[in-house]
Amino acid sequence: MRYNKYMKFSRLAEYFERIDKTSLRNEKTVILAEMLKEASHEEVDKLVYLALGELRPPFDRLEFNLADKLIVRALGVGWEEYQRVGDLGELAEKITNHKFSNSQMTVSEVYEQLVRIAKDSGSGSQERKVRGVATLIKQMDPISAKYIVRMVAGKLRLGFSDKTVIDALSYLENGNKEYSEMLDRAYQKRPDVGVLAQMVKEWGAEKAAEKIDVVIGTPIVPALAQRLKTPREMIAKMGRVYVEKKWDGTRVQIHFSRGQVRTFTRNLDESSAMFPELTKIADQVNADEVILDSEAVGYDPKTGKLVPFQLTITRKRKHGVVEAQSSVPLRFFVFDIMYLDGKSLIHLPLQKRREILVKTVSKGDVLVVDEHIETDDPDVLREYHKKQLEAGLEGALVKQIDGEYMPGRTGFNWVKFKESEDSRAKLADTIDAVIMGYYLGKGKRSDFTLGAFLVGVKLGENIVTLAKVGTGITDEVFGELGERLQTIKSDQKPGEYIVPKILTPDVWVEPNIVVEVAADEITVSPTHSAGYALRFPRLVKFRDDKSVNEITTLDEVETMYGQG
């Protein structure tokens, strides 16, 4: 096939319009595959990023940071007009001059202009951004203007994620999902769906999957733990294991190269500026380049004792980092090594990676190689877990000695052993859920604007309801939550939410705030769209270290229900 090397942006907008008008994931996948087929190798990465409402992959995020009021100004209308229409994209479509219906700007040209606008900084940058958006919109047809404005506002939301793009790349290859699993494994090693699309276009799916490997400076999707109920079941399934402490901290992936240290969160955001301690680790690292997996835990500088998660998480901020460093210094407990001096290590067995790790990281104050025990005795495992709980940690993490480093929650290489300290609770593990909306407070809680909130878990690309939470929350936390929810209110139900009418909240919010929820048990529910509900759910803590992509899945809920 002869590719059109310079796809018009108006053509891309037509694809967006088709995707936006269907709620069927398979149909979205087929349309995306058509779009990818028409795109050239040179521009396909830009098409993919734009389709996801981004300019770059998450670990290299570039945002516009333009408030709705400034975007309305760029459109040259009054705020009242926006309030009447209720959607910035539809407002842009409504007012755009139809004489530009044959706009000749290419995807690459529009992309470069958007990047310039987003990168603008310093004195007067907000005004320049407004002018830049206004100039770009004037060159667009109505449909293109709608989607550009939604991108700038951070509200494109076409109802799919990287996973759907991976399926579309498989469709591109042979019209089905045969290559999806293979491409997903490659993506886990280098989670840049734009680069993946370019390589599939150039080499085909199989060769692209072979060529993609770990790269310093690009985060690896972190390995996550599965759930098994008892030590006996763990040993039966995993054989001889390493058992480690489960720290109550925040996951940090460290990319070290001489002269530079970059860090990434478990949801692939760069967090380098938050951890100035790591600029001093060169003396502890016996390598030129290395990727380490670690858990950062705060400690009291006076006593040396570890501090609770909520204090550790205060370090995840953009401002006041130096002050926070002195009040909550961190130690980074390193438990794995995935890359060393140009070579990926993820395919090596854990035992070998551990040997390399010990030789690579020297003793010091910042990096601490995590301790572990080795056993195939369920009683030893149980006793170790109990000891960690008594020490104030989250329990134990169990790992196969001969297991590879497997990004994502795959297989039973790593297993959580996390029993609740609350003897009243029948549900041994907690659930990470996203807040979908809230219900207005009554009586005493009317002062806090919310009385309870609705949470959900993932089902594919969608989020389904699991519980209404209104207990386990102090007035102080309710006040903080109310303030945070105000910033992410939505005028309409987000497209990925599946919510029965009877559970419709008073106020919808964007899927942004992740919370850890405990409960007595999971029950079958005819009311919640998950098909399950939590009995006596209560808030444990905010999980600001997790994104909506990392919340508990419905499959995991079903597994927990079966283990109950």
Tell me the C-alpha to C-alpha distance, in Å, between residue 218 and each of 269, 336, 394, 405.
10, 17, 29, 16
Residue with tokens 């690009």: 218
Instruction: State the Cα torsion 458-462-467-472 to the nearest 10°.
Output: 60
**What is the rounded distance in angstroms from the CA atom of residue 405 to the CA atom of residue 102?**
51
367 neighbors 332 (Cβ within 8 angstroms): yes
Q: State both tokens at 247.
A: 């720290």
**What is the rounded distance in angstroms from the CA atom of residue 199 to the CA atom of residue 84?**
45
**What is the rounded distance in angstroms from the CA atom of residue 47 to the CA atom of residue 67?**
25
Coil, strand or helix at 200: helix
Q: What is the DSSP letter of 257?
A: E
What burial letters (b/e) apply to 238-261, b meaning 16+ CB within 10 Å?
beebbbbbbbbbbbbbbbbbeeeb
Q: State both tokens at 200.
A: 């599939």
Q: What angle do CA 57, 281, 187 make, to 5 degrees?
A: 25
Q: What's the per-residue H, E or C state across 297-354?
A: EEECCCCCCECCHHHHHHHCCCCCHHHHHHHCCEEEEEEEEEEECCEECCCCCHHHHH
**What is the rounded distance in angstroms from the CA atom of residue 440 to the CA atom of residue 66?**
29
**What is the rounded distance in angstroms from the CA atom of residue 384 to the CA atom of residue 461?**
38
Tell me the C-alpha to C-alpha distance, in Å, between residue 318 and each of 274, 275, 315, 486.
7, 10, 9, 21
Q: What is the DSSP letter of 285?
A: B
Residues paired with residue 397 on neighbouring β-strands, in sequence order = 244, 416
Of 201, 246, 316, 399, which residue is the catalytic one? 246
Q: State both tokens at 467.
A: 């519980």
Coil, strand or helix at 270: strand
Helices (H), 153-204: 162-174, 180-189, 193-203
246 is catalytic: yes
225 neighbors 295 (Cβ within 8 angstroms): no
Strands ordered across the beta sheet of 414-417: 226-227, 414-417, 396-400, 241-245, 372-375
Indicate which residues carry an active-site annotation. Answer: 246
